[in-house]
Amino acid sequence: MPYLPWLRCSSASPTTTFPGPWKLIGAENYIELFQDTRFQAALRNTIAYTLVVVPLSMVLALLIALGLNLKIRGLGFFRTVYYLPVVTATVAVASVWLWIYHPSAGLANAVGSLFGLSRSEWLNDPGMALPALMAVGIWQGLGAKMIVYLAALQGVSKELLEAANLDGANRWQVFRNVIWPALGPAHYFVLITAIVQTFQVFDLVFVMTKGGPVNSTTVLTFDIYNNAFEGLRLGYASAETVIMLILVAVFIYLGGRSQRKNQDA
C-alpha cells in the first residue's frame, strides 16, 4: 500500500510498522513532482544523458565493429579489450575513472597538459560533471554494442557483397546500399537496449558524484533512490518511477519509428 503513488500516510511517523491510516491523494504527488526543482533537474539530465550517450555509443560501436570485421592480426585480443568494460563491475569502473578525473593527480589532466590544455575540475565543475559521466557511460557500453554489430556484419550476404564489387561499387556505396540495410535488426536491438541502459544509470552517479555538484548529475534513478530510501517517501518515488517508465516508452517508440523510416527509405 505505501508504494502506491496516489496514497499518502496521514500519520506523523510513517516509518513505523503500522503507520496508518492511509488517505487517497489522487494526483498530488505528480503535481508536486513537476514543481520540484530537483526532479526537474533529474529529468533534464536524464534526457540529455540519453540523447548524447545513445547515438554516440552506437556510432562508435559500429566503427569499431567495422574495423574488427577486417582480417587483422590479434583480432581476438582487440575483441576482448573492447568487451572487458562490459563484464567489469560498474563500481570498479567508476573507481578507476574517479582517479582519471582527479583534479591534481588524474590521468585526464596529465594528458591534457601535454597538449597545452588547462587543468579541469571535471566532476567538481557543474558544467563538466555530466559530460564526464557521459564519456564513462559511452566507454563502458561500447563492448556490448560492438559484439552485436560484429555478429551482424559477419552475417551480411557475401553474394551481395561480391555482386556490388563486380558492379564497380566503391566502399561507401557498398556500405550504404548493402551493409547498412542488412544491419537494420542490429540497429533496432542496439538502440532499444541502449535507451533502457541509459535510463538505468545509477552506479556511476552514486559512486562518482552523488548527484552533484548542485544537482548537475542527478538522474531519475538516483532521485528515485533518494526519495524512496533516504527520504522514505515511497509513494512520491513511485510516482516518479511511473513518469520515468512513460518516458522510456516514448523514447523506445520514437527510436523504433525512426528505425522503420530508415529501413523504408
24 phi, psi to nearest 5 deg: -80, 125
Closest among 24, 29, 44 to 211, alpha carbons compared = 44
Give the CA distances from residue 155 to residues 97, 180, 200, 242, in Å, rounded to whole numbers and listed in that order: 36, 12, 31, 39
Q: Give residue for cell 526537474.
A: 40
Measure the CA–CA gap between 260 and 265, rounded to whole angstroms.
9
Instruction: Give the DSSP letter string of 26-90.
Output: TTHHHHHHTT-HHHHHHHHHHHHHHHHHHHHHHHHHHHHHHHHTS--TTHHHHHHHHHHHHHS-H
User: Are 99 and 185 spatial neighbours (Cβ–Cβ below 8 Å)?
Assistant: no
CB atoms within 10 A of CB 74: 9
Residue range 179-210, pLDDT digits in tens: 888 888 898 899 999 999 999 999 999 999 99
pLDDT for res 157: 84
Measure the CA–CA gap between 13 and 9, rounded to whole angstroms.
9
Domains and CATH numbers, the chain: 44-264 (1.10.3720.10)
Residue range 29-75, pLDDT digits in tens: 888 888 989 999 999 999 999 999 999 999 999 999 988 888 777 77
128 phi, psi to nearest 5 deg: -110, -15
| DSSP assigned state of 122 | G
Residue range 84-123, pLDDT digits in tens: 888 888 899 999 999 999 888 888 888 888 888 888 889 9
